[in-house]
């Protein structure tokens, strides 16, 4: 290339010329600054000469000429630089201008968006426009893990399949907007190596409320608007804003999804009571599962009479001929292993799995859950996905609930074959109490300074009473107790719905009244009219020595102070499931060493003796006062013994449930 032609290329497109000699983006930017400076000085010289020519005609003052020159340069400096970029760096100018417009449009649209999916799509579309020639991966936090929500130019499946835990970014300051070379993040070395091999050298975090909710992996120095302070400030503004919006909308979406999941569970429960054909029910279960977990293939296998083979009963997404040719035995493949051991198996990558039995070449991950009733394995439910590591903890928990429903359905359908009428089956359905009992907490979690115990004594085989103990952290626990209207299987199913709805809200750590409000709406929308629950929920914090509660029409729990003072916790509102959108109240009270909180259902106080006299609250309080210095287990046994002795000649007509919490000094 001739020197004259090289100069011509430099004038038209200096980026092409500079890239031949400058090895880094910083050098290119420095040379651009030099060009801009020379350009300004040249304009200044020309302007000075022109002004001097005209001013000399009138005053001949060099100072006046200099002052006018400086004034005009200061006034039009940005326009002159803009003109330079338009003419000498036309391509760069266009890229930066387009980037600014894209970022400004994204910033404005984020302010008007309230749906998680819409926010995500806005970000994905903007990234595709801004980084169209660059490889990048955008990760979003879900269930304590970051998953690749959107990627471009990445063909390394192993990189995309990495299990990126939330803890990897815990040590990175929340003010961080750029982590060049992954110096602040604590990623595994193999992940860092693969990322850099794919051209990803930096991390741009998107902060949520108190953690990084998303991040972008990219080579930021190759971004077209790198070096443009205006565009880069817009990008940083979006990083701060989009993380918060993503987290807020994700929480709303998660609540909506959980509400939807509970409704689907209730539909399955109602189907169990209305149909006794195994295939019909299992097909219905798979159909509803697909709406909440979005699998690519699913099957339910049941043990044959010999207990050695698995028979495919219901499936979706598989080749029917392939299933017919498959003769699965107990212990064979993931499904056979799960039936043999009674354990859950989650396979993040089936290509390296020990137990996987290949039926679909597209499958990348699988989860298998045993169907168990009364400690007997009936079969297995298996879901497959074409995505690596697709099945998270929340999905597995939800699938377990569906599996429990399927187990009850299978048991009921089999019992129906030896029954003459549906009413006889209603009695047999009560055997589901063993599943119901498994849902109740059997061992209280350890909370500092708190001693907790609970017991449920059903009047029949199943109970309409419920309780739960939810550990939030080492100092904080949620205590719930309730009584479902009605008896038998419908009451038991309602109890399952309430417990599932309560536990689904554990990670959000909302106020007591908010939790009761959401449970009330869930129950109102998911059950028939007249189906309601008396409910009490309290959050106890031993470090702050306080108790916050909401009482939804339940028997007021007794708070017996260390000094003997008695308080009854009655603030809240109506029973849940009676009226939607009811605004519940909550109350905060002190909870100090030596204090005892006694929660109970009306089966305790309404227990009758032969003279049809109720046990009553006064006798209950008297037993509590006499035993307040003892452990919660001793208090519990003393109350049960007193009630049983009182009503020894009467048939127990109602469920009895106790939940006791004591603030211990040690």
DSSP-assigned letters across all residues of 305-350: TTSSEEEEEEEESS-HHHHHH--EETTSHHHHHHHHH---EEES-G
pLDDT computed for residue 92 by the predictor:
64
pLDDT classification of 7: cutoffs 50, 70, 90: very low
pLDDT computed for residue 273 by the predictor:
63
pLDDT at 65 over 60: yes
Cβ partners under 8 Å of residue 662, min gap 6: 450, 451, 452, 595, 596, 597, 631, 632, 635
Identify whether the C-beta of residue 379 lies closer than 8 Å to the C-beta of residue 330.
Answer: no
Sort 409 into a burial class: Cβ within 10 Å, 0-12 / 13-18 / 19+.
Answer: buried
pLDDT at 10 over 60: no
Where does residue 21 fall: left (phi above 0), alpha (psi -120 to 50 degrees), or beta otherwise? Answer: alpha
Residue 181 has, within 13 A of its CA and on its CB side, a CA count of 1
Instruction: Return the higher-pLDDT residue of 244 and 662.
Output: 662
Cross-sheet strand order for the sheet of 345-347: 328-329, 309-316, 297-303, 376-385, 365-373, 345-347
Tokens 């798979």, residue located: 286
CA nearest neighbour of 428 among 447, 414, 445, 443? 414
Angle at which helices 393-416 and 229-274 pack, to 10 degrees? 10
Sort 571 into a burial class: Cβ within 10 Å, 0-12 / 13-18 / 19+.
Answer: middle
* CATH numbers and ranges of domains, the chain: 3-88 (no CATH), 95-252 (3.30.450.40), 275-418 (3.30.450.40), 439-663 (3.60.40.10)
Helix, strand and coil in the chain, % to nearest 5: 50, 20, 30
The SS3 call for residue 107 is helix
Instruction: Return the higher-pLDDT residue of 393 and 76.
Output: 393
Give CA–CA dist 235/326, Å, rounded: 54
**Residue range 494-511: average pLDDT?**
81
Taken as a whole, the chain contains a residue count of: 666
Give CA–CA dist 511/146, Å, rounded: 27
Identify whether the C-beta of residue 577 lies closer than 8 Å to the C-beta of residue 532.
Answer: yes
Q: How many helices (H) and strands (E) does the chain have?
A: 20, 23
Give CA–CA dist 386/361, Å, rounded: 9
Give CA–CA dist 191/201, Å, rounded: 11
Cβ partners under 8 Å of residue 645, min gap 6: none
Q: Which residues pair with 303 in a beta bridge?
A: 310
Cβ partners under 8 Å of residue 289, min gap 6: 295, 298, 383, 399, 402
Query: Which letter, b or e, does each residue of 374-397 get, where b requires 16 or more Cβ atoms within 10 Å of its Cβ?
Result: eeebbbbbbbbbebbbbbeebbbe
Extract the tokens encoding 346.
Answer: 């989650």
Sort 501 into a burial class: Cβ within 10 Å, 0-12 / 13-18 / 19+.
Answer: buried
**Residue range 204-216: average pLDDT?**
91
Q: Which residues pair with 457 in a beta bridge?
A: 656
User: Cα angle vertex 15, ends 14, 17, to 5°?
Assistant: 65
pLDDT at 427 over 90: no
Q: What DSSP state is assigned to residue 147?
A: E
For the chain, first and last CA: distance in Å? Answer: 87
pLDDT computed for residue 640 by the predictor:
94
**Residue range 439-458: average pLDDT?**
88
Give CA–CA dist 530/246, Å, rounded: 39
How would DSSP label each residue in 202-260? EEEEEE-SSSEEEEEEE-GGGSTTTT-HHHHHHHHHHHHHHHHHHHHHHHHHHHHHHHH
- pTM of the predicted model, to two decimals? 0.48
Q: Which residues pair with 309 in a beta bridge?
A: 329
Give CA–CA dist 119/230, Å, rounded: 23
Report which listed range, 443-447, 462-466, 565-569, is most confident. Answer: 565-569
Judged by average pLDDT, the poorest of 83-97, 103-117, 297-311 is 83-97
Report which listed range, 3-17, 100-114, 287-301, 628-642, is most confident. Answer: 628-642
pLDDT computed for residue 421 by the predictor:
47
Identify whether the C-beta of residue 448 lies closer than 8 Å to the C-beta of residue 543.
Answer: yes
Instruction: Return the higher-pLDDT residue of 315 and 459.
Output: 315
pLDDT computed for residue 383 by the predictor:
93
- pLDDT, one tens digit per residue, over 141-165 is 987 889 899 999 998 888 888 888 8
- pLDDT, one tens digit per residue, over 398-419 is 888 888 888 887 887 777 665 5
Element (H, E) at 592: none
- pLDDT, one tens digit per residue, over 517-546 is 999 998 888 877 778 899 999 999 999 999
Sort 326 into a burial class: Cβ within 10 Å, 0-12 / 13-18 / 19+.
Answer: middle
């Amino acid at each position: 290339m001739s020197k004259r032609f090289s100069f011509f290329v430099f004038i038209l497109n200096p980026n092409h010329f500079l890239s031949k000699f400058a090895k880094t983006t910083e050098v290119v930017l420095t040379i651009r600054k030099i060009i801009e400076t020379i350009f300004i000085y040249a304009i200044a010289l020309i302007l000075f000469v022109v002004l001097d020519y005209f001013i000399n005609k009138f005053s001949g003052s060099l100072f006046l000429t200099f002052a006018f020159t400086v004034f005009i340069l200061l006034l039009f400096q940005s326009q002159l630089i803009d003109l330079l970029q338009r003419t000498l760096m036309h391509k760069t100018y266009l890229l930066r201008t387009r980037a600014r417009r894209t970022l400004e449009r994204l910033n404005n649209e984020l302010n008007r968006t309230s749906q998680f999916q819409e926010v995500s799509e806005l970000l994905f579309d903007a990234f595709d426009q801004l980084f169209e020639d660059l490889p990048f991966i955008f990760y979003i936090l879900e269930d304590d893990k970051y998953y690749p929500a959107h990627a471009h130019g990445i063909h390394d499946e192993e990189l995309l399949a990495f299990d990126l835990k939330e803890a990897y970014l815990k040590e990175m300051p929340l003010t961080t907007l750029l982590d060049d070379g992954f110096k602040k993040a604590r990623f595994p070395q193999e992940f860092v190596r693969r990322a850099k091999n794919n051209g990803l050298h930096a991390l741009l975090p998107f902060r949520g409320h108190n953690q990084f909710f998303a991040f972008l992996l990219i080579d930021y120095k190759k971004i077209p608007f790198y070096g443009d302070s205006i565009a880069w400030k817009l990008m940083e503004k979006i990083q701060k804003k989009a993380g918060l919006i993503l987290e807020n909308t994700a929480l709303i979406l998660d609540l909506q999804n959980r509400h939807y999941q509970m409704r689907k569970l209730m539909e399955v429960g109602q189907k169990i009571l209305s149909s006794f054909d195994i295939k019909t029910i299992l097909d219905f279960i798979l159909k509803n599962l697909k709406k909440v977990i979005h699998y690519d293939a699913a099957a339910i296998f049941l043990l044959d009479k010999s207990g050695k083979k698995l028979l495919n009963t219901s499936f979706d997404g598989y080749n029917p001929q392939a299933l017919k040719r498959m003769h699965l035995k107990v212990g064979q493949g993931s499904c056979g292993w799960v039936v043999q051991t009674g354990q859950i198996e989650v396979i993040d990558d089936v290509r390296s799995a020990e137990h996987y039995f290949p039926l679909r070449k597209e499958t990348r991950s699988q989860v298998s859950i045993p169907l168990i009733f009364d400690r007997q394995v009936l079969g297995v439910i298996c879901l497959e996905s074409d995505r690596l590591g697709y099945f998270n903890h929340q999905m597995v928990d939800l699938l377990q609930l569906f599996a429990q429903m399927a187990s009850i359905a299978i048991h009921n359908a089999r019992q129906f074959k030896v029954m003459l009428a549906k009413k006889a089956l209603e009695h047999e359905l009560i055997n589901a109490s063993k599943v119901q009992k498994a849902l109740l907490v059997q061992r209280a979690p350890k909370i500092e300074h708190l001693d907790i115990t609970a017991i449920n004594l059903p009047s029949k085989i199943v109970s309409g009473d419920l309780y739960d103990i939810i550990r939030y952290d080492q100092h904080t626990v949620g205590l719930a107790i309730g009584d479902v209207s009605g008896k038998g299987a419908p009451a038991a199913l309602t109890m399952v719905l309430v417990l599932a709805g309560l536990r689904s809200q554990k990670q959000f750590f909302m106020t007591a009244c908010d939790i009761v409000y959401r449970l009330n709406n869930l129950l109102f929308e998911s059950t028939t009219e007249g189906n309601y629950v008396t409910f009490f929920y309290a959050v106890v914090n031993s470090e702050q020595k306080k108790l916050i509660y909401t009482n939804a029409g339940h028997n007021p729990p007794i708070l017996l102070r260390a000094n003997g003072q008695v308080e009854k916790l009655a603030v809240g509102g109506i029973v849940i499931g009676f009226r939607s959108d009811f605004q519940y109240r909550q109350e905060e009270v002190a909870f100090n060493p030596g204090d005892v909180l006694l929660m109970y259902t009306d089966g305790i106080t309404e227990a009758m003796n032969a003279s049809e006299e109720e046990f009553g609250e006064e006798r209950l309080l008297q037993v509590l006062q006499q035993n307040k210095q003892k452990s919660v287990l001793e208090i519990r046994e003393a109350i049960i013994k007193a009630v049983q002795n009182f009503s020894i000649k009467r048939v127990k007509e109602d469920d009895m449930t106790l939940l006791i919490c004591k603030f211990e000094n040690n």
